[in-house]
Amino acid sequence: MSVKVKICGITSIEDALTALEFGADALGFIFYAKSPRYVTPEAVKEITSALPPFVSTVGVFVDSPTEQINEVVRRAGINSVQLHGKESPEECAMAEGASVIKAFRVSGEDDIAGIGAYATNDYTVAAVLLDTFVEGTHGGTGKTFDWKLAIKAKKYGPLILSGGLGPDNVSEAIETVRPYAVDVSSGVESAPGTKEPEKVKRFIEEAKSL
């Protein structure tokens, strides 16, 4: 089965439909106000209302209160949440009406060791996403990390690989890690929040060719 592909940082209906046309499985929307790819719940609702059925839509949050996350899920019409901050296993379990992806920013072995607490019977998340740790940011850096660490994290459940992926290295990343899915944002953009169709097309083709 080919790897799933999530195109993150979607800000327009045009970019969303283009990504789906080229074969994307999931679309990501950033609800972190400090991000250059930030979108409002109302804007995302317009996009999700225009999508065909069976599309996975993911809202990305960074240390947002659980009540706020659940409210955005309802208002924006998304079906998964990606928690990209320091959310505890207990907080992950409090999300309502959406599956939970817990993101971890990786700089070394210790970052992988902490995933186990989110993979217990009480707090099982739907998937784990690994991104590159860069001081002062929460993703979209365009930098990779040591993929050997990602291989070790696969024991905790479905693994989504992110961080510095693009059309030129995604096939190597998939062959090395064999993740459940890959996630890209800046690697297929002409500017933050603006996707470049040819890069999106190439990225998905490379990912799905394996």
How many folded domains does the chain comprise?
A: 1
Residue 10 near residue 19 (C-beta atoms within 8 A): yes
Tens of pLDDT, residue by residue, the chain (210 residues): 789 999 999 999 999 999 999 999 999 999 999 999 999 999 999 999 999 999 999 999 999 999 999 999 999 999 999 999 999 999 999 999 899 999 999 988 888 988 999 987 677 899 999 999 875 555 556 689 999 999 999 999 999 999 999 999 999 999 999 999 999 999 999 999 999 999 999 999 999 998
DSSP label at residue 2? P
Task: Report the catalytic residues.
Answer: 8, 131
The β-bridge relationship of strands 56-61 and 181-184 is: unpaired
Kindly report the pTM of this predicted structure. 0.94
3-state secondary structure of 15: helix
Q: What CATH number does the domain containing 137 carry?
A: 3.20.20.70
Containing structural domain, residue 31: 4-208
66-84 burial: b if 16+ Cβ within 10 Å, else e: beebbebbeebbbbbbbbb
